[in-house]
C-alpha cells in the first residue's frame, strides 16, 4: 500500500447536479498517500455522492479526479474510467456481500478479477481474513455471520488486493453503538498497520475525528472546512462546523456601546476580535467549568440532570436568556439550582454574524 506517488487522491473543482439540483459545487480536496480523509456531514450534504464519484459509480459534470496521479474522471478531456479500472477497494454501508458466495470467495473476488493464481489468492485471502479476525469463517456463507462479522468480511474484501485507495461509505452506521465503538478502534489500527490511503464517509463526527488525518466537513454540496481533527475542534471555520461537531453553545452576540453581550439580554461577554456590531459566539463545552474560579463567569440554571457513566450530563439555561448549554460535569447538580459557570475568554470563538 505504499505508493511511489505522494498524492493518493486529488479532486479539482468537482461539480455535479441531479437535474436542477446542484449536489456538489466546486469541490477541491487532495489526500497524501498513507493518510485518511474523512468526509463528514449531515445526510444530503453530498459526501456520499463525492465518494461515488471517486469510485466511478457516478460521473461528475465537471472537474478532475486523480487517483494515485492518474486522471480517472475529467469530463472536459473525455476521461471517465469505469469503477473496475480505478483499482480501488470499497466498503459499503450495507456490506454488499454476495450472498451466493462463501466468505473466502467474496474476499477472493478482487484478486480473481486481477487474474491472480489460485495459490496466491488463497494465501492473500487467508491473510486478509486473519487480519480482520475471521480466519476460521472462510467457508461460511455471509448470511451465517453477525453484522459485525459481515462488515469485517467487507473490509477484508476491500483491502485484500492492496489497492492504492480504499473507500469507506458509512461502514459502521448499520452496527449498534457498542460494536461501532469497538470497530472504530479496530479500523483505526488496521488503517495504521497497513498504512492505507483511505476516504472515509460518515455522519458521525466521533468516527471521523478518530480515524481521519484530515476531515472535510461538508454542507450543501460544499466543503465548509478541511482540516486535521485538532484544528477542527479548536478552530472551527464556520458556525455550521461548530454546530455539526457539537463543540458547544452557540450564542448570538451584539456590541452595545462599551462591550459585547448576548443578544437581547444583559449577559455580558468579554471583548471579541470581531469588528462588526453583531457576531455569533461559540462557547466551547471544553472551555466551561462549574464554579466561579475562572477568569470569566456567568450564571445558569439547571434544567435537566442525567446520570451518565462519565459523570452528570447537565442541561443549563443561561440566566436571563433561553439559550441552552450542555455539559458533562463530575459534580452533581439539582434541577432548579442557579450555579456559576466559568470559562476562559481566549477559548471563545467569534464568527461574523
- Tell me whether residue 134 or residue 283 sits nearer to other proteins (CB atom): 134
Nearest distance from residue 125's CB to other proteins, in Å? 13
Q: Which stretch binds other proteins (CB under 8 A): 90-98, 238-246, 262-270, 290-298?
A: 90-98
DSSP 257: T
CB 256 within 8 A of CB 304: no
Q: What is the dihedral of CA 207, 212, 217, 220, to 10 degrees?
A: -80
Stretch that binds other proteins, among 2-10, 57-65, 192-200, 333-341 (CB under 8 A): 57-65
Tell which one of 34, 41, 89, 272 touches other proteins (CB under 8 A): 89
Q: Check binding of 87 to other proteins (CB under 8 A).
A: yes
Q: How far apart, in whole angstroms, are the C-alpha atoms of residue 270 and residue 248?
A: 17
Cα dihedral 143, 149, 151, 155 sign: negative
- Most distant pair of Cα atoms in the chain: their distance: 79
Residue 44 interacting with other proteins (CB under 8 A): no
Residue selected from 6, 13, 28, 100 as contacting other proteins according to rule CB under 8 A: 100
| Binding residue (CB under 8 A) for other proteins from 42, 83, 311, 320 | 83
Does the protein bind other proteins through residue 114 (CB under 8 A)?
yes
Phi-psi map region of 48: left, alpha, beta (phi>0 left; psi -120 to 50 alpha): alpha
Residues in contact with other proteins, counted by CB under 8 A, come to a total of 35
Q: Quick one: DSSP state of residue 46?
A: S
Which of 49/225 has CB closer to other proteins? 49
Tell me, letter by letter, the H, E, C secondary structure of 86-99.
Answer: CCEEEECCCCCCCC
Within residues 135-154, the interface with other proteins by CB under 8 A covers 141, 143, 154
Alpha carbon distance 261, 245 (integer Å): 24
Name the residues that contact other proteins, by CB under 8 A.
18, 55-59, 73, 80-84, 86-90, 92-94, 96-100, 109-110, 113-114, 141, 143, 154, 157, 161, 167
Amino acid at each position: 500500500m505504499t505508493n511511489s506517488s505522494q498524492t493518493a487522491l486529488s479532486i479539482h473543482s468537482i461539480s455535479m447536479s441531479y437535474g436542477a439540483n446542484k449536489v456538489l459545487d466546486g469541490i477541491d480536496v487532495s489526500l497524501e498517500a498513507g493518510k485518511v480523509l474523512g468526509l463528514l456531514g449531515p445526510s444530503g450534504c453530498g459526501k456520499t455522492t463525492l465518494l461515488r464519484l471517486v469510485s466511478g459509480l457516478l460521473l461528475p459534470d465537471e472537474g478532475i479526479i486523480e487517483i494515485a496521479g492518474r486522471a480517472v474522471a475529467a469530463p472536459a478531456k473525455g476521461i471517465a474510467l469505469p469503477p473496475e479500472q480505478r483499482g480501488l477497494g470499497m466498503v459499503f454501508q450495507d456490506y454488499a456481500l454476495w450472498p451466493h458466495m462463501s466468505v473466502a470467495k467474496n474476499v477472493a473476488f478482487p484478486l480473481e478479477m486481477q487474474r491472480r493464481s489460485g495459490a496466491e489468492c488463497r494465501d492473500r485471502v487467508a491473510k486478509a481474513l486473519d487480519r480482520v479476525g475471521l480466519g476460521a469463517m472462510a467457508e461460511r456463507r455471509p448470511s451465517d455471520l453477525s453484522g459485525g462479522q459481515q462488515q469485517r468480511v467487507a473490509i477484508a474484501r476491500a483491502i485484500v488486493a492492496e489497492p492504492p485507495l480504499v473507500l469507506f461509505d458509512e461502514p459502521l452506521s448499520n452496527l449498534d453503538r457498542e460494536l461501532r465503538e469497538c470497530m472504530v478502534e479496530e479500523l483505526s489500527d488496521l488503517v495504521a498497520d497497513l498504512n492505507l490511503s483511505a476516504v472515509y464517509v460518515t455522519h458521525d463526527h466521533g468516527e471521523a475525528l478518530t480515524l481521519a488525518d484530515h476531515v472535510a466537513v461538508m454542507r450543501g454540496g460544499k466543503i465548509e472546512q478541511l482540516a486535521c481533527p485538532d484544528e477542527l475542534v479548536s478552530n472551527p471555520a464556520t458556525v455550521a462546523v461548530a454546530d455539526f461537531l457539537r463543540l458547544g453553545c452557540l450564542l448570538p452576540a451584539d456590541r452595545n456601546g462599551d462591550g459585547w453581550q448576548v443578544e437581547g439580554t444583559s449577559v455580558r461577554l468579554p471583548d471579541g476580535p470581531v469588528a462588526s456590531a453583531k457576531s455569533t459566539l461559540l462557547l466551547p463545552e471544553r472551555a466551561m467549568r462549574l464554579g466561579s474560579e475562572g477568569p470569566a463567569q456567568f450564571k445558569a440554571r439547571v434544567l435537566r440532570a442525567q446520570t451518565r457513566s462519565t459523570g452528570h450530563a447537565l442541561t443549563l439555561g443561561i440566566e436571563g436568556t433561553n439559550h441552552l448549554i450542555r455539559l458533562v460535569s463530575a459534580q452533581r447538580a439539582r434541577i432548579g439550582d442557579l450555579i456559576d459557570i466559568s470559562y476562559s475568554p481566549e477559548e471563545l470563538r467569534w464568527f461574523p454574524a
